[in-house]
């Protein structure tokens, strides 16, 4: 492709001559094979569209797991100038603070193998999952307000976990700029019913084994070792976040006229960061992110309860909790020196390196943990933030494997029973709410997580610390 050129190892430039109106270049992190997949759908067009946004600082960036999304591509990173730039609800997406949390257990794989069936059964009972499942705790209006303001810290105050947990969550589990009054009653009503639920689709809880350690020091600091059982939880802000994004997309559509913004795609709807609508969105988005932190905290508490009941030890140490869909004000190096920018991460993970003041003290010597879930039944990764992420990608790295096959094709290619048998042969047991949901998320429907992780490792955006493989899966 004429406008796409290699600019060194695992980096490609999408020249601003690709589309009229691009204010800067696009940059794609990929190897040849991943790039081929990326060029097959509308990812490059979406990278180009983002490069047209007002006030974009530097390039419009796509990670190696990038694929076509709505407005922004999934796996996209864009930093904007807060004074001249725009904020886009589509640049965060519908599942605000969809994210991942890792718990480290005191057990070795041999301790757990005989109990996997029982654990899955009890976890499935303890954690509401699947479509339409409501949370176990019915919240009052006052309580949903507190959840939105205080996030995981609310959950811990209510007895879902320990004080130490919050220090191991991005933003300490509470984004302070949240304002619950900027969240519609409709979103709150959806949230009241769905707090403390896993959801469906690609959301899951997995019992995994640390299969290999690549970085001994970081693994030691994160409390991980080979053969250890860990738990990975992948979920977000549920219907509350979806509604907040829907509400503000509508508000931003109206803002386009008001602020005389023209766009190549209505899904990119955006308003100035410093406008009433922009500030309202960011406060509501922060509140939704807090809801998601509280959600993962409650699920953690119930997981600990199940381990305690069945194995007499529920001491599951929270390793870390990261957001994959979020926009945040952060200080970064730009052409004009260090300054505050608004970083949109849509299907991307913060990856602050060692020494960064926003990394909790416990991990500051090795860098922030980055959690990369693979597809069901394949490996997941723990990475640590690296220096190049600050120089090149606004402190960001990849977030997962990235979808490669439609859900329909995935379901057609394999039956649920065949899939369960295949996974069972690999030593992976599955408890799912829906058989169709299982086949839609089958491993072949995703890109190879190994090559995605290799690219960000080689590019120095984050480095490999440990590979995790599942032995038990709960799917919504």
Partner 1 sequence: MSESYRILEHTADIGFEAYGATREEGLANAAIALTSIITDPDSVAVKNKHTIEVSAGDWEQLLVRYLNEVLYIIDGESFLPAKADVKLQEDYSLIAVLYGETRTEDHDVRTDVKAITYHQLKFEQVNNGFIVRVFVDI
Q: Nearest to residue 472, comparing CAs of 408, 428, 412, 409?
A: 428
Query: Per the structure block, which two tokens stand in for 19?
Result: 């589309």
Measured from the CB atom, the residue of 241 and 272 that comes closer to partner 1 is 241
Shortest Å, Cβ 250 to partner 1: 7
Residue 472 beta carbon to partner 1: minimum distance, rounded to whole angstroms: 23
Could you give phi then psi for residue 6, rounded to 5 degrees? -70, 135
Assign residue 33 a region (left: φ > 0; alpha: ψ between -120 and 50; beta: otherwise). Answer: alpha
* Contact call for residue 219 and partner 1 (CB under 8 A): no
Nearest distance in Å: CB 266, partner 1: 4
Q: Single out the segment in contact with partner 1 by CB under 8 A; choices: 48-56, 153-161, 195-203, 416-424.
A: 195-203
Contacts of residue 386, defined as CB under 8 A and 6 or more positions apart, other chains included, come to 351, 353, 367, 460, 461, 462, 463
Single residue of 108, 226, 265, 444 touching partner 1 by CB under 8 A = 265
C-beta closer to partner 1: residue 153 or 375: 375
Distance CA 369, CA 359 (A): 9
Is 173 strand, coil or helix?
helix
Please tell me which residue in 203, 332, 344, 399 is annotated as part of the active site: 399
Kindly state the number of chain residues that form the binding site for partner 1, as judged by CB under 8 A. 42
Residue 263 Cβ, how far from partner 1 at the closest point, in Å?
10
Given CA atoms 322, 327, 333, 335 in this order, what sign does their dihedral have?
positive
Q: How far is the CB of 409 from partner 1 (least distance, A)?
A: 8
CB-based contact 346:76 (threshold 8 Å):
yes
Residues 183, 188: Cα–Cα separation, whole Å:
7
Regarding 269 and contact with partner 1 (CB under 8 A), the answer is yes
Q: Which is nearer to partner 1, 63 or 341 (CB)?
A: 63
Residues numbered 377 to 406 that lie near partner 1 (CB under 8 A) are: 403-406
By CB under 8 A, name the one of 6, 131, 181, 424 that touches partner 1.
131
Distance CA 54, CA 351 (A): 25
According to DSSP, the residues that pair with 380 across neighbouring strands are: 468
Long-range pairs, 308-312, Cβ under 8 A, ≥24: 309/122, 310/115, 310/118, 310/119, 310/122, 311/107, 311/111, 311/112, 311/115
Tokens, residue 448: 């190879």
Taking contact as CB under 8 A, which single stretch among the options 2-10, 52-60, 148-156, 431-439 is the one that binds partner 1? Answer: 431-439
Asked if 259 touches partner 1 (CB under 8 A), the answer is no
Regarding 408 and contact with partner 1 (CB under 8 A), the answer is: yes
23 touching partner 1, by CB under 8 A: no
Which structure tokens are listed for 465? Answer: 């610390």
Q: What x-and-dash track marks residues 348-377 binding partner 1 by CB under 8 A?
A: ------------------------------
Q: Does 434 bind partner 1 (CB under 8 A)?
A: yes
399 is catalytic: yes
Q: Judged by CB under 8 A, which stretch of 1-9, 62-70, 108-116, 135-143 contacts partner 1?
A: 62-70
DSSP letter, residue 20: T
Which of 12, 94, 124, 381 touches partner 1 by CB under 8 A?
94
The conformation of residue 225, written as its DSSP 8-state character, comes to -
DSSP label of 258: H
Q: How far is the CB of 45 from partner 1 (least distance, A)?
A: 11
Which positions lie near partner 1, rule CB under 8 A? 41, 67-71, 74, 93-95, 131-132, 186, 189-190, 199-201, 239, 242-243, 245-246, 249-250, 253-254, 265-267, 269, 403-409, 434, 436-437, 440
Catalytically active residues are 399
């Amino acid at each position: 492709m004429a406008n796409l050129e290699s600019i060194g190892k695992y980096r490609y430039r999408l020249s601003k001559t690709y589309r009229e109106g691009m204010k800067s270049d696009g940059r794609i992190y990929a190897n040849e094979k991943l790039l081929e997949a990326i060029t097959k759908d509308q990812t490059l067009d979406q990278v180009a569209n983002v490069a047209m946004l007002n006030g974009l600082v530097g390039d419009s960036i796509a990670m190696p797991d990038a694929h076509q999304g709505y407005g922004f591509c999934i796996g996209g990173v864009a930093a904007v100038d807060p004074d001249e730039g725009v904020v886009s609800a589509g640049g965060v997406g519908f599942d605000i603070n969809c994210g991942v949390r890792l718990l480290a257990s005191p057990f070795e794989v041999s301790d757990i193998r005989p109990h996997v069936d029982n654990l899955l059964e009890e976890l499935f009972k303890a954690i509401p999952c699947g479509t339409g499942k409501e949370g176990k705790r019915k919240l009052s209006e006052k309580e949903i307000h507190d959840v939105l303001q205080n996030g995981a810290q609310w959950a811990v105050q209510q007895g879902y976990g320990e004080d130490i947990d919050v220090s191991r969550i991005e933003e300490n589990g509470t984004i302070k700029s949240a304002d619950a009054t900027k969240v519609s009653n409709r979103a709150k009503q959806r949230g009241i019913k769905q707090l403390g639920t896993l959801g469906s689709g690609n959301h899951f809880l997995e019992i995994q084994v640390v299969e290999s350690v690549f970085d001994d020091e970081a693994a030691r600091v994160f409390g991980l070792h080979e053969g250890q059982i860990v738990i990975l939880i992948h979920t977000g802000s549920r219907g509350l976040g979806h509604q907040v994004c829907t509400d503000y997309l509508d508000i931003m559509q109206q803002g386009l006229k008001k602020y005389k913004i023209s766009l190549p795609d209505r899904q990119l709807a955006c308003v100035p960061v410093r406008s009433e609508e922009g500030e309202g969105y960011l406060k509501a988005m922060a509140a939704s992110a807090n809801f998601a932190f509280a959600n993962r905290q409650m699920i953690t508490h119930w997981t600990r309860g199940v381990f305690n009941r069945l194995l007499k030890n529920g001491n599951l140490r929270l390793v870390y909790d990261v957001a994959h869909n979020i926009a945040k004000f952060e200080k970064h190096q730009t052409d004009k020196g260090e300054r505050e920018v608004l970083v949109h991460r849509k299907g991307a993970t913060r990856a602050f390196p060692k020494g960064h003041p926003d990394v909790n003290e416990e991990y500051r010597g090795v860098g922030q943990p980055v959690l990369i879930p693979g597809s069901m039944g394949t490996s997941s990764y723990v990475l640590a933030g690296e220096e190049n992420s600050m120089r090149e990608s606004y402190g960001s790295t990849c977030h997962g494997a990235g979808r490669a096959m439609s859900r329909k094709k995935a379901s057609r290619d394999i039956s649920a029973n065949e899939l369960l048998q295949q996974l069972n042969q690999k030593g992976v047991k599955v408890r799912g709410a829906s058989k169709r949901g299982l086949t839609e998320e089958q491993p072949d429907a995703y890109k190879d997580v190994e090559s995605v992780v290799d690219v960000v490792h080689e590019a120095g955006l984050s480095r490999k610390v440990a590979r995790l493989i599942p032995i038990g899966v709960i799917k919504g």
